[in-house]
């Protein structure tokens, strides 16, 4: 073709023939079983965690003279757990989120790390029928070491007074929890509070 004979009309015609629709370069859209599936391991783990928990207070008014003997914590895949050991009958409880936790009797502020504070009232004393202490932590501010826990930030002792014992639990945020009691070992019982890692 002689370049001197190319007219604007010829140029437009050539461009029209050579034009390729943009859709030709688009990636194919896959649907149904042929679509790639990407699944987050975290999402699967969260989906398999127990549900139905909430952040509203949970309480049982039953009192017992069976004393508190220990406080323990543990980490699980979906939640952090605190266990209060009781020498005898299962106690009642009052577990709720509060602005601040105060010591039993004296009413002193119990400082707690974390974005939220959970007050755990165990309706059982931490002393025997003769008044002897059955639970006397070495460090009232750090009942257990919760470094590295997903939800717990601090476990502190708020004292025992008039037949009940209070524990302050500092947590990462106002997350859902559940409360229940377990029988054993032997004639002993346990009060269990689980606080979830996520909503």
When divided into structural domains, the chain yields a total of: 1
CA angle 161, 159, 121 (to 5 degrees): 75
* Residue pLDDT, tens place only, 68-83: 999 999 999 999 999 9
* Residue pLDDT, tens place only, 95-108: 999 999 999 989 99
Q: Is the pTM of this model over 0.75?
A: yes
CATH number of the structural domain spanning residue 88: 2.60.40.3500
Query: 194: how many CB neighbours lie within 10 A of its CB?
Result: 20
CB 68 within 8 A of CB 85: yes
**Is residue 9 classed exposed, middle or buried when 0-12, 13-18 and 19+ CB atoms within 10 A define those classes?**
exposed
Task: Identify the domain containing residue 172 by its residue range.
Answer: 55-196
């Amino acid at each position: 073709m002689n370049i001197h004979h190319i007219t604007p009309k010829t140029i437009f015609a050539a461009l029209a023939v050579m034009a390729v629709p943009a859709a030709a370069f688009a990636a194919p859209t896959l649907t149904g079983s042929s679509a790639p599936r990407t699944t987050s391991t975290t999402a699967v783990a969260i989906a398999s965690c127990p549900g139905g928990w909430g952040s509203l207070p949970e309480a049982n008014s039953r009192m017992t003279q069976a004393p508190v003997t220990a406080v323990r914590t543990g980490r699980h895949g979906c939640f952090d757990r605190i266990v209060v050991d009781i020498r005898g009958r299962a106690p009642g409880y009052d577990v709720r989120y509060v602005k601040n936790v105060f010591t039993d009797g004296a009413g002193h502020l119990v400082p707690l790390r974390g974005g939220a504070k959970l007050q755990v009232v165990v309706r059982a004393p931490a002393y025997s029928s003769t008044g002897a202490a059955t639970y006397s932590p070495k460090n009232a501010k750090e009942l257990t070491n919760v470094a590295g826990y997903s939800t717990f930030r601090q476990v502190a002792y708020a004292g025992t007074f008039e037949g009940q014992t209070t524990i302050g639990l500092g947590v990462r945020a106002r997350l859902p929890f559940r409360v229940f009691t377990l029988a054993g070992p032997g004639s002993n019982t346990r009060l269990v509070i689980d606080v979830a890692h996520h909503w």
